[in-house]
């Protein structure tokens, strides 16, 4: 770090330094932090625009509250970078999102300043409420602060938690509005009242009125009650019924969240209120960095490239299908760009639905569309699809409704880490009756599955990783124009293959590398690529047709969780039909086995999960017993 560049930030080595900083240096600190963020995040990748917008708010939290005695939970956690810099991780910030480095989200065991692990949206208030109730039970005087954006506010868990907030708790919920309007503001008068209600004079007058007026003999209490009713009537006439105060919670704001003095003043006021309080601030995404201010969407996540990947191809194909079929609808849970549906949204706005961060609702909503005769495609990241499990079981599969689940980012997440690994979906979808699961390996395969899905009568899932079309996969498995939708093989002489690797998805490249290494040692090896994962009876039938009579080793390689995964269920079906061939002694499943695959070293994520090409080689050696230990292991 260039100490001459960050004149004030260079003085900050811990949270105590932030609290001790003279007030007249705080604005310079905020400027330094923004420059530091741009310098680092543009190199490491990560969430930039939201963190640039929350600098003043985070600095004020660190100065007003006694962290980590008091606690703060940032919803999703992608906007916790400033918090990390100002607590104890400034010098480690260059390791952001790297193996063994600091996480791009709050992580419980990374620092005492991270009181709760995050990564998925709308969990902050529930977690903070748990802390606040624990403090009440144990007689502690801690403050707990939850910071959430207006995007997270669309998630149902936030409202479930608010509904359970005891107004006497030392809980402060900060709603950071940085994109869409939450409050109903009507004209200049409403704006002026918002400004007045958050001003120092108003708050001071409110405190004095509340404490002094009721003590005036005879008329004090009646007058105070009359003024309070009059104020509420006037406020509700302008704003409509106050959602938060309707829940019995105090509400302050909205204020300019990028005005440090206003933010610090509002936080001090929140501490003086005896009970749960909602603070409403408005910040500007990308604040202080012109490119991000102009186009915050593009700078939401630096380092992401959605062009040319499966997501974009899915979106383009769905547009072409929708031109011919007016029953096709598309649904996303606040991830329009990420899942490739921007073009669809522009061309078919009446058939496009962004339901906000509400995956459970997205799936049941899709079920309703399907029941009404529409053809819904719900595109959701694999890691977020976990949140909709009950809806898939109860509202889709049980009723056998033709909902098309598009499972994006279905793979290990190299940068974001365990919170975003897409490795559970095959296992949990496989356990659901009536569900079909497909894993197209190329763009052409994806097109075939999408075209066929328009006429489906059952629920199905089409899953794919975050990658572009791979020429190697096309050349090896589809060189003869193979259009099979079940499986493909890269070998001709079946009986000569002593080792057979069965796999699906992105990790087929590791299988091919392992096969090349084995062949280099004179060991014949074939690879079977699955594109249909369920129904397993169909998969087992095709694989059985290709297996040699007496293979030395059959290895199932899976970039997914082992328990209940495709390997386990496919092998079970194969043993039912071909027990002699699939003896336990010469078969092995290499999958993510009872771990969250958290990288702690500078190694590939496949190696961390023990499903790399090297792991396949070692398994082959173990199973055959006649193979020599492979030389020159790949990384």
Residue closest to 270 by CA, chosen among 27, 26, 23, 70: 70
DSSP for 177-221 reads ESSS--S---HHHHHHHHHHHTSHHHHHHHHHHHHHGGGSTTTHH
Cis amide prior to 254 (ω within 30 degrees) = yes
Residue 442 φ then ψ, to 5°: -135, 165
Residue that has been written with the tokens 């669309």 in this structure: 154
Question: How big is the CA angle at 372 (ends 366 and 373), to the nearest 5 degrees?
Answer: 95
Give me the count of residues in the chain.
635
Active site residues: 285, 359, 387
Residue that has been written with the tokens 């090409």 in this structure: 613
CA distance 336 to 345: 8
Q: Please enumerate in sequence order all residues whose Cβ is within 8 A of that of 506, keeping only pairs 6 or more positions apart, or say none.
A: 411, 465, 467, 559
Helical ranges in 88-186 per DSSP H:
124-138, 156-163
Q: Taking the CA of residue 384 as centre, how many other CA atoms within 13 Å lie in the half-sphere pointing to its CB?
A: 30
Q: What tokens does 270 get?
A: 């929140």
CA distance 59 to 386: 34
Residue 599 is given by DSSP the state -
Residue closest to 277 by CA, chosen among 285, 287, 267: 267
Angle between helix 613-624 and 508-520 (nearest 10): 50
3-state SS, one letter per residue, for 332-371:
ECCCCCCCCCHHHHHHCHHHEEECCCCHHHHHHHHHHHHH
Other C-beta atoms within 10 Å of 372: how many?
A: 9
Residue that has been written with the tokens 């001709």 in this structure: 492
Is residue 369 within 8 Å of residue 343, measured between CB atoms? no
Q: Please enumerate in sequence order all residues whose Cβ is within 8 A of that of 174, keeping only pairs 6 or more positions apart, or say none.
A: 57, 145, 146, 147, 148, 278, 279, 281
Q: 115-151 in b/e burial notation, b at 16+ Cβ within 10 A?
A: bbbbbbbbbbbbbbbebbbebeeeeeebbbbbbbbbb
CA distance 280 to 301: 24
Q: Taking the CA of residue 530 as centre, how many other CA atoms within 13 Å lie in the half-sphere pointing to its CB?
A: 30
Please report the beta strands in 492-624, taking only residues with DSSP state E, as ranges in sequence order.
499-504, 525-530, 532-534, 553-561, 587-592
Q: Please enumerate in sequence order all residues whose Cβ is within 8 A of that of 186, keeping only pairs 6 or more positions apart, or say none.
A: 238
Other C-beta atoms within 10 Å of 88: how many?
A: 17
């Amino acid at each position: 770090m260039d100490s001459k560049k960050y004149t004030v930030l260079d003085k900050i080595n811990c949270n105590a330094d932030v609290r001790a900083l003279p007030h007249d240096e705080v604005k310079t600190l905020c400027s330094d932090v923004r420059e530091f963020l741009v310098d680092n995040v543009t190199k490491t990748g990560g969430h930039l625009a939201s963190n640039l917008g929350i600098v003043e708010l985070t600095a004020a939290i660190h100065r007003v509250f006694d962290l980590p005695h008091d606690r703060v939970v940032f919803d999703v956690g992608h906007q916790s970078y400033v918090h990390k810099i100002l607590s104890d991780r400034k010098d480690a910030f260059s390791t952001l999102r790297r193996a063994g480095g600091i996480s791009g989200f709050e992580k419980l065991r990374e620092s005492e300043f991270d009181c709760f692990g995050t990564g998925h949206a709308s969990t902050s208030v529930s977690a903070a409420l748990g802390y606040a109730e624990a403090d009440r039970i144990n007689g502690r005087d801690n403050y707990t602060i939850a910071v959430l954006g207006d995007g997270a506010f669309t998630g149902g868990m936030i409202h479930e938690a608010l509904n359970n907030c005891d107004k006497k708790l030392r809980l402060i919920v900060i709603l950071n509005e940085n994109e869409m309007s939450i409050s109903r503001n009507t004209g200049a008068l409403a704006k002026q009242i918002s400004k007045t209600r958050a001003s120092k004079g108003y708050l001071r007058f409110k405190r004095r009125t509340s404490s002094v007026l009721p003590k005036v003999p005879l008329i004090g209490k009646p007058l105070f009650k009359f003024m309070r009713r009059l104020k509420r009537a006037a406020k509700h006439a302008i704003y409509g019924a106050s959602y938060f105060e309707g829940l019995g919670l105090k509400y302050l704001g909205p204020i300019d969240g990028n005005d440090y003095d206003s933010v610090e003043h509002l936080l001090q006021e929140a501490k003086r209120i005896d009970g749960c309080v909602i603070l409403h601030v408005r910040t500007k995404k990308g604040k202080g960095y012109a490119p991000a201010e102009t186009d915050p969407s593009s700078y939401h996540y630096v380092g992401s490239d959605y062009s040319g990947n499966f997501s974009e191809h899915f979106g383009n194909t769905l547009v072409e299908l929708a031109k011919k079929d007016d029953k096709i609808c598309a649904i996303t849970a606040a991830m329009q760009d990420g899942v490739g549906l921007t073009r669809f949204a522009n061309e078919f706005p009446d058939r496009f639905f962004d339901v906000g961060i509400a995956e459970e609702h997205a799936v049941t909503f899709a079920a309703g569309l399907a029941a009404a005769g529409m053809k819904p495609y719900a595109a959701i990241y694999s890691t977020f699809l976990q949140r909709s499990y009950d809806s898939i079981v109860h509202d889709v599969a049980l009723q056998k409704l033709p909902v098309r689940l598009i499972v994006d980012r279905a793979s290990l997440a190299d940068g974001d880490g365990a919170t975003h690994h897409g490795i559970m979906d095959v296992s949990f979808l496989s356990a659901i009756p009536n569900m079909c699961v497909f894993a197209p390996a190329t763009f052409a395969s994806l097109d075939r599955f999408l075209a066929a899905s328009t006429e489906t009568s059952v629920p199905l899932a089409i899953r794919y990783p975050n990658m572009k079309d791979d020429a190697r996969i096309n050349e090896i498995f589809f060189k003869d124009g193979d259009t099979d939708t079940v499986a493909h093989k890269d070998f001709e002489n079946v009986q000569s293959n002593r080792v057979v690797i069965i796999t699906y998805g992105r990790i087929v490249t590791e299988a091919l590398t392992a096969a090349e290494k084995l062949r280099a040692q004179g060991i014949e090896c074939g690879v079977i690529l699955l594109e249909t994962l369920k129904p397993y009876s169909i998969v087992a039938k095709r694989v059985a047709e290709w297996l040699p009579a007496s293979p030395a080793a059959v290895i199932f390689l899976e970039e997914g969780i082992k328990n209940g995964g495709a390997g386990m269920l496919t092998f079970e079906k194969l043993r039912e039909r071909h027990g002699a061939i699939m003896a336990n002694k010469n078969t092995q499943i290499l999958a993510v086995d009872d771990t969250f695959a958290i990288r702690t070293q500078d190694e590939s994520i496949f190696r961390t999960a023990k499903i790399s090409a090297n792991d396949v080689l070692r398994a082959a050696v173990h199973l055959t017993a006649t193979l020599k230990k492979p030389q020159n292991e790949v990384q």
